[in-house]
Amino acid sequence: VKIVGMSSITDCQKAFANAINLQSVDLTEFDSSNVINMDYMFYKCSKIKTLNLTGLFDVSNVTNFGNFFDGCSALTDLNITTWQTTEAITFYSMFRNCSSLEHIAPTAVTSE
């Protein structure tokens, strides 16, 4: 599945939730710059193995990431290197039940 455009969307809550047969999603051209809620976005997407959430996938205004990947039990590789999460308030159970996830590539954090 490839999702593009749609910059007017502000709520992606449960966008792919319970899509138990979903194996691949390309969101690199999805303009999510106005989204503030991504609660349960990939909840129980148990067949997705890898996700590249870079490119136009902008989470800088998101405040809620609760249960975002909860139940993605086949997920083994995740690229979130471009994520800016300074507005985020909730990360509750974001990676719960991600039993196969061995690699997360987050943005490097520097200390001053």
Across the chain, mean pLDDT equals 86
Contact 57, 30 (CB under 8 A): yes
Give the pLDDT of residue 15: 93
Give the pLDDT of residue 55: 76
Q: What tens digit of pLDDT does each residue of 4-27 get?
A: 556 788 999 999 999 999 998 888
CB neighbours (10 Å) of residue 39?
22
Q: How far apart are the first and last CA of the chain?
A: 41
Tell me which residues of the chain have a pLDDT lower than 70.
Answer: 1-6, 105-112
Among 69, 70, 88, 87, residue whose Cα is nearest residue 78: 69
Give the pLDDT of residue 19: 95
Give the pLDDT of residue 80: 83
